[in-house]
Structure 1
Amino acid sequence: MTRPVLLVSPDRPGAYRTIADALADATDGALITVAPGRYDEALYLNRPLTLAAEGAGGTVEIASASGSTVVLDAEAVQLTGLQLTGTDREAPVLDVRRGQAALDGCRISGEAWAAVLAWQDGVVALRDCQVTNAQGAGIVVTSGGGNAVERSQIQEVGSSAVVVAEHGRLTLRDCRLDRARGNGVCVNGQATAVVEATRISGSGKPALAVEQHARATLTGVEVSGSAALDAYLTSAAEVVLTGCSFTGSGGQAVRVGEGSAPVLRSCVVSGAQREGVHVAPGGRPRLEDCRITGTPTGLLVEAGGRAECAGLTVEGATTTAVHAADGEVVLERLTTEGGAGT
């Protein structure tokens, strides 16, 4: 059976003049190719199909000044090579309510509280995409499906680059999150996030925030240039960081709050302006084979906090390598090198 192919072009004979016209005639599984140009339309996708830019000769921009540019309420839709733009301050550019929106090589730019939203029964799968949003978050996920973002860049956002909330589930792999005014990645509620091989730079708030009862597995994450804090860990659920690095924080690198017991394995902290790892009252982290370099205080444990360290190296501490301020520290294989302090 031949797949139906529909062409959209404002000036080509036999083509549909608008994407909406093509959608009205499209059947399940259709391929709609769109010629380069700007299309001022708001699209409602309610059947499985593919919407793709024609060739590589120019930009296909779909823009809406009112409401979402694309609303998905279908089993599965593929969007390829498109630029989606929205200027409505209340509506996300891409609103995924049901089914899976698979985006490949797309650019999404918005001005609302979120550029991309996956909620209810919606699932997003982004690959090689770019997301910007001067007013709000880049990607917000509250749905419990297999949401995934790979090889993508989220930058210049007004709040957090990625938010996983409520019962949302998201895998973030090989991405770059740059210059978010809020968090790089924020996981809260009872959400679950897996973040791998991702670089987060220049966050205005904690680059990583895992709160409430959220679960997070962070592997090979590189954080740099945070304004005041690299990682803020307060979740009472399981949080594991493996092979992560935190460089040049304007304040503390890692702060562990009350009720949280994260595990940090083979993590490296360097150049934080204050503490490398700060354990607040009620925090109970475990550090395994971690290294802290070039900070005034390597590890600080406040009264009521407890840290277990199995293989900790602190280099170049200018004030104190390990400071148990009436807190509890269990040390196994501690090494201090080159510090000017205690």
Structure 2
Amino acid sequence: MPLPTARVISAAPAGRAWGAGMVARYFVSPHGGRRAYPDITSALAAAARRGRAALVEIAPGRYEEALTVQGEVQLATLGDPGSVVVSRPRGAVLDAFGSVHVHGLVLIGRDADVVGCHAGTLTLEHSEIWAHNGVSVHARPNTSVTLRDSVILHGRALFSGANGLVERCRFTDATDNAVAVIKGAHVSVQGSWIGGSVIHGVRVSGARAQVTGCELTGTGKAAIMADSQAQLTVADCAINAVHAEGIAFIEQSKGSVDGTRVTDAQHGIAVVSGADPVVRGCAFTECRDTGINIHTSGRGRFEDCEVFDAGNIAVFSTKGGAPEVHGCRISRGNVGVAVTDAARGRFTRVEMEDLTSVALRVHDGATAVFEQVRVERCPSHVETRGNSGTTADIADSVLRDFDMSAVEVLGQSRVTLKGVSAERGMLGFSVGEEAQLFVHDCDVTAVSSCGALGFGKGRLVARNLTVTGSEVFGLCGTDSAHLDVVNSEFVDCATAGASFQGTCGGRMVDCAVNGTQGVAVQDNGRVGLVSLRTSLPVVKQIAKPVERPPTIVNNYDGPVFNAEVHGAQLAWNNNNVIQQQTNEDGSST
């Protein structure tokens, strides 16, 4: 919905038409002069009596006045912008009723609304508003205020139920929010600089705002905040060095963010408590914690975004978050995508590289779907852990150059892989503890340890799995794992195509082991081998019976001998003992 167009009254030379009729001109000079008014207040009073459009021209100087402007009036300096200073030690400086235009003035106040628009429209151009412990500009309900090419120091511009336009302005060191858009207001902020706000740079609460082509820096909280079902549009902005979020959508707020860069924030963008924005073509760089953070039932759609050098997690969905991420690029930093604490997410065409930890993490009852994902040069590429409600589906993806594992499934989590390729690393696909891994139409190439591994009580179900060039095993089961592998092939595995150890069980059906080295299967006798195709030997591994150690009974009431004893007579627990010795000649002594 476009903003209503406020009537803008511009300065005009003497004798020319301004507005609907001729403009009455008034000259203000504290030094006197022909037909000069000594102060601004007296000139405004004269203009009000005539009831015509008025141009009040003010000579450079300082004026300590409280101005009440009514009707169709322009206040303009006769010197350079900033040469006229209107101030008061306490209270309001300018109250506008009607159609008011201020050009080139400096307005300074304290402990109040320095400038207030109570009715009609107000335009301030090339002006400065200084507010100490107060509001710089207050646009009240049903008014329209335009700020253009102006400077606002310390205070904030407050639009409450009003329409507003802010163009090419500079907001410095606001003690609150620099721009507040509340209670149904509708404001556009364009091409402006906002820095050093104690709270937010722009806050939109139960209102609508567009923030375009702006730079925001050094805010104490989120640089741009939308709350209380706000509608916020952000485009082509630069946000840097903020203490909290670059952009935050909370409390069911909606809107969009396009072409915006956030650098050095705690979180690049946060979406919380039912908020649901659309974020496109944005970059979140060097964020100290997370780049994209969705939690507490936050949602959102993120398209073609970049997250570089995130201090903790590039994309984080937790505590009921539910984002959709499409075409995202993640580079450097610690963790790529983490979905935890009963959150969910769908991730498509995501590229990740050069992380220091895991690329994809799904923990603690979370659910995630990954499609067309490419991961390169990370220690671990996929990690899941948690209860049986923890699930991940990965399809049509490539995992390359992993230091440890391509996929690790632990706890009671469940993972399904379809059309996934794992290339160059230590361990391809692994499942352990009580977790389950389902593999369909996948391949593992050039691993130093094992292509697919089941351990603990893990369950591995594989269909059309191909492992090529493992330096040890193509397939391995150990402990009490269960392996169900059908129509799969293991090629050029150095030690064995498949190795079954411990008490692991299951079956291999319609599988092939090809190559020129090692054995086809190291068989523990617990895995059914059905229609195995191979020219390599199958080696039976018979488990050795466990030798029980001899039973040792220690009698601590009798004597203890540390060497062989012969011809000894022993007695204990007797009241009377008769000792008799037989001599060599047969006599007794």
TM-score by length of structure 2 reads: 0.53
2:350 to 178, 193, 198: 198
| 1:64 counterpart = 2:218 | yes
| 1:189 counterpart = 2:341 | yes
1:155 to 276, 292, 308: 308
CA distance in 2, matches of 1:191, 1:103: 23
1:87 offset after TM fit, Å? 3.0
| 1:131 counterpart = 2:289 | no
1:230 corresponds in structure 2 to 381
CA contact (8 A) 1:122 1:143 kept: no
2:456 corresponds in structure 1 to 303
CA distance in 2, matches of 1:63, 1:287: 48
User: Structure 1 residues 157, 32: CA separation in 2 closer, same or farther (over 3 Å shift)?
Assistant: same
CA distance in 2, matches of 1:212, 1:133: 27
1:231-282 C-alpha deviation (Å, 9 max, x unpaired): 001243332111111100111111000201211111110001x110121121
CA distance in 1, matches of 2:151, 2:471: 65
* Unmatched 5+ stretches in structure 1: 54-59
1:40 offset after TM fit, Å? 4.5
User: Structure 1 residues 234, 35: CA separation in 2 closer, same or farther (over 3 Å shift)?
Assistant: same
Greater CA drift, 77-86 or 286-295: 77-86
| 1:44 counterpart = 2:181 | no
CA distance in 2, matches of 1:39, 1:219: 40
2:163 corresponds in structure 1 to 26
User: Structure 1 residues 3, 26: CA separation in 2 closer, same or farther (over 3 Å shift)?
Assistant: closer
1:17 corresponds in structure 2 to 150
1:57 corresponds in structure 2 to none
SS of the aligned residue for 2:230 comes to strand
1:135 offset after TM fit, Å? 1.9
1:26 offset after TM fit, Å? 3.2
1:144 offset after TM fit, Å? 2.6
CA distance in 2, matches of 1:2, 1:95: 24
CA distance in 2, matches of 1:143, 1:136: 17
1:120 to 273, 283, 287: 273
SS of the aligned residue for 2:330 comes to strand
| 1:102 counterpart = 2:102 | no
CA distance in 1, matches of 2:403, 2:224: 39
1:48 offset after TM fit, Å? 1.2
1:145 offset after TM fit, Å? 4.7
* Unmatched 5+ stretches in structure 2: 7-122, 129-145, 165-183, 497-589
1:68-117 C-alpha deviation (Å, 9 max, x unpaired): 212211421100100122432xx2222222201410000112342x2221
CA distance in 1, matches of 2:236, 2:439: 44
CA distance in 2, matches of 1:125, 1:244: 25
2:238 corresponds in structure 1 to 83
2:173 corresponds in structure 1 to none
User: Structure 1 residues 151, 8: CA separation in 2 closer, same or farther (over 3 Å shift)?
Assistant: farther
| 1:287 counterpart = 2:465 | no
CA contact (8 A) 2:464 2:488 kept: yes
User: Structure 1 residues 159, 18: CA separation in 2 closer, same or farther (over 3 Å shift)?
Assistant: farther
SS of the aligned residue for 2:447 comes to coil
Amino acid of the residue matched to residue 34 of structure 1?
Q
1:159-191 C-alpha deviation (Å, 9 max, x unpaired): 00011001111001011011122x100001111
Q: Which has the larger radius of gyration?
A: 2
Amino acid of the residue matched to residue 487 of structure 2?
R
Amino acid of the residue matched to residue 62 of structure 1?
L
User: Structure 1 residues 9, 216: CA separation in 2 closer, same or farther (over 3 Å shift)?
Assistant: farther
TM-score by length of structure 1 reads: 0.88
CA contact (8 A) 1:78 1:101 kept: yes
1:128-173 C-alpha deviation (Å, 9 max, x unpaired): 0000234211111014354111100011110000110011110010
CA distance in 1, matches of 2:302, 2:406: 26
Percent identity between the two aligned chains: 16
SS of the aligned residue for 2:428 comes to strand
2:20 corresponds in structure 1 to none
CA contact (8 A) 1:195 1:218 kept: yes
1:45 offset after TM fit, Å? 1.3
User: Structure 1 residues 49, 65: CA separation in 2 closer, same or farther (over 3 Å shift)?
Assistant: closer
1:35 corresponds in structure 2 to 191
CA distance in 2, matches of 1:120, 1:301: 40
CA contact (8 A) 1:87 1:110 kept: yes
Amino acid of the residue matched to residue 87 of structure 1?
V
1:314 corresponds in structure 2 to 467
SS of the aligned residue for 2:422 comes to strand
CA distance in 1, matches of 2:304, 2:125: 30
User: How many residues are paired up?
Assistant: 330
User: Structure 1 residues 151, 18: CA separation in 2 closer, same or farther (over 3 Å shift)?
Assistant: farther
SS of the aligned residue for 1:318 comes to coil
CA distance in 2, matches of 1:239, 1:18: 52
1:14 offset after TM fit, Å? 6.3
Greater CA drift, 22-31 or 294-303: 22-31
SS of the aligned residue for 1:203 comes to coil
1:251 corresponds in structure 2 to 404
1:223 offset after TM fit, Å? 0.9
User: Structure 1 residues 14, 169: CA separation in 2 closer, same or farther (over 3 Å shift)?
Assistant: closer
